[in-house]
Structure 1
């Protein structure tokens, strides 16, 4: 199991984040699409000499044409000498239609075709084949030499797909190179629902070549006061996620469907503080880990080594590279059969 740091800050701060992640012992840096364009941020990250894998976690696919995404990823992979991975996500309908003013419909089928279109564009550049992609949602049939960036000296980027529902998980298993699992996921839901779905839909593909990428919230701190504060922050985040109807299957898996309904009702009234108060310690422990940095790291390893191939611990509350390094060291030094060992990024295949 390898560890990724997450970055959602401004472009001007990403070079420092790359250095801090490397110093803390992370294996990669994933860049979220929130207030800033992830490809702009990733460009600056890929330009920093480092051993880290750099990826988008995630870029919103349906806000962009497959051609623009293919070109950005191609350039970043070349810039980083094969260290870039393309993480895609669909977002939800209101953001696609109201924020980006782009079409929506049949998101799983659209995403399957989107990934196929990106791969077809890459094949035209890499192999010199004629671009003749025609689908229900996307058509790409023109590529003149003036617009062809030419082949890479390393294999094309791998594609990771974020998914929550069974249809999109199936698309990830069948069309992508890995699945990015939402942080609103429990160990039970991972092992009893998500992993069996992935294995069912790999359809003979090598599981060893397919990545399961996890995101887990961690409540820790330099002292007990900071840890308690981080626990409350995690509970507030869980309440926010849990108020979304799309995530209700996770609640239902643990017999907590009524909690999801109540959180949704309170969210519509803007009662955010009351929502966090509904997340008790038992519910917290389904989703997140807590303790000293060493204890939290050991618990991450106990739960997820052998389950996730890569893990992005989300440290809540104030923290820095030194605290993150202690969490990762705690995971790597944990005495258990699935013990994780420090490694560099996976070399290009």
Structure 2
């Protein structure tokens, strides 16, 4: 059985900056023995700035991006941010990466969403070359050629290696992957995986994709936790999240979250949820989310029920649970897990 670790998932900001609240939560998590704290980005705040702010006000907890979007910066720029934050924090950085989706990549970053698996592999390869600092960095890849010699080039590009010596050449790289090919590649090229949904009761969904995972490979899903004696009330926010992701994100043509729910055993329900959301019937879409699915990927209900469910997570390949909540929630989960 796996001895589970806990991570604090702060996600991305909403309409307003969370101010000192996120820092205080991270400091409390560190006191309680949490292993890591994670920040995210969408089309609002970036992930590195708040993580560096938190890192300056903590001393031991690992600092992860969950996730840094590939299209937001070139791989060398991402490696520079990683190098800097790892050095300033004394070697606490975890670089979590993800391709995002076509709506964000093409609508926000103005780049084509093509060959995400290939693009991820090139991106990781360049970052590892930068951090290794063994030679000037070159790449003959399709998406990130170094030096660049394409249209508009002056033909003066020179292979470079970072001026600053990285504190660690082996900063852990995690990837937020959903599709089967991306998950399988993650097991081969990364140090960890950040699943969006994971069910310890359906390990067969990912088993074939993880066969190449090396020893020490970390699996850190975000798991929603709601402690409430009323299970129906506890599950509602999980169902609301699932309804929005499965029905309201992506498009009618392609929604990776909906496809994942289908692979996890609920294809008909996923189709119906999307149909209802696209028709503007959101409440009905949320109600259509199966309680079973919401329950399997979360920890909901009375404390004792959650304690029993944690035994099922410990029997899975999962190494860390990334959770969000107030300080009392963090204390309750530290008591249950740590």
Q: TM-score, normalised by structure 1?
A: 0.82
Contact kept in structure 2, 1:298 and 1:331, CA below 8 Å: no
2:334 maps to 328
1:268 maps to 278
Q: How does 1:1-349 map to 2 (within 5 A)?
A: 1-8=4-11, 9=13, 10=17, 12-13=19-20, 14-34=22-42, 35-124=44-133, 127=134, 129-141=135-147, 142=158, 148-183=162-197, 185-189=198-202, 191-199=203-211, 201-202=212-213, 207-221=214-228, 224=229, 229-243=233-247, 245-253=255-263, 255-315=265-325, 320-332=326-338
Take 2:139 and 2:73, find their aligned partners in 1: how far apart are those partners? 17
Take 1:325 and 1:246, find their aligned partners in 2: how far apart are those partners? 34
Deviation at 1:95, TM superposition (A): 0.8
For residues 41-81 of structure 1, what are the alpha-carbon distances to aligned partners after superposition, in whole Å with 9 as ceiling and x for unaligned?
11112212321000001010122111110100000000111
Contact kept in structure 2, 1:112 and 1:175, CA below 8 Å: yes
Determine helix, strand or coil for the equivalent of 1:215: coil
Contact kept in structure 2, 1:294 and 1:330, CA below 8 Å: no
Determine helix, strand or coil for the equivalent of 2:137: coil
Deviation at 1:11, TM superposition (A): 6.8
Take 2:216 and 2:210, find their aligned partners in 1: how far apart are those partners? 13
Deviation at 1:231, TM superposition (A): 2.1
**Unmatched runs of 5 consecutive residues or more in structure 1:** 333-349
Go from structure 1 to structure 2 and tell me whether the alpha carbon gap of 1:253 and 1:37 turns closer, same or farther (over 3 Å shift): closer
Deviation at 1:3, TM superposition (A): 0.7
Take 1:272 and 1:144, find their aligned partners in 2: how far apart are those partners? 52
Go from structure 1 to structure 2 and tell me whether the alpha carbon gap of 1:135 and 1:179 turns closer, same or farther (over 3 Å shift): same
Contact kept in structure 2, 1:161 and 1:180, CA below 8 Å: yes
Go from structure 1 to structure 2 and tell me whether the alpha carbon gap of 1:72 and 1:27 turns closer, same or farther (over 3 Å shift): same
**Structure 1 runs, 4 residues or longer, greater than 4 Å off:** none
Contact kept in structure 2, 1:46 and 1:80, CA below 8 Å: yes
Q: TM-score, normalised by structure 2?
A: 0.84
For residues 240-260 of structure 1, what are the alpha-carbon distances to aligned partners after superposition, in whole Å with 9 as ceiling and x for unaligned?
233363234444345421111
2:155 maps to none
Deviation at 1:322, TM superposition (A): 2.2
RMSD of Structure 2 on Structure 1 (CA): 2.3
Take 1:153 and 1:114, find their aligned partners in 2: how far apart are those partners? 20
Go from structure 1 to structure 2 and tell me whether the alpha carbon gap of 1:153 and 1:235 turns closer, same or farther (over 3 Å shift): closer
Go from structure 1 to structure 2 and tell me whether the alpha carbon gap of 1:230 and 1:36 turns closer, same or farther (over 3 Å shift): farther
Take 1:153 and 1:167, find their aligned partners in 2: how far apart are those partners? 32
Take 1:270 and 1:314, find their aligned partners in 2: how far apart are those partners? 29
Task: Give the stretch that moved more between structures: 153-162 or 64-73.
Answer: 153-162
Go from structure 1 to structure 2 and tell me whether the alpha carbon gap of 1:298 and 1:143 turns closer, same or farther (over 3 Å shift): farther
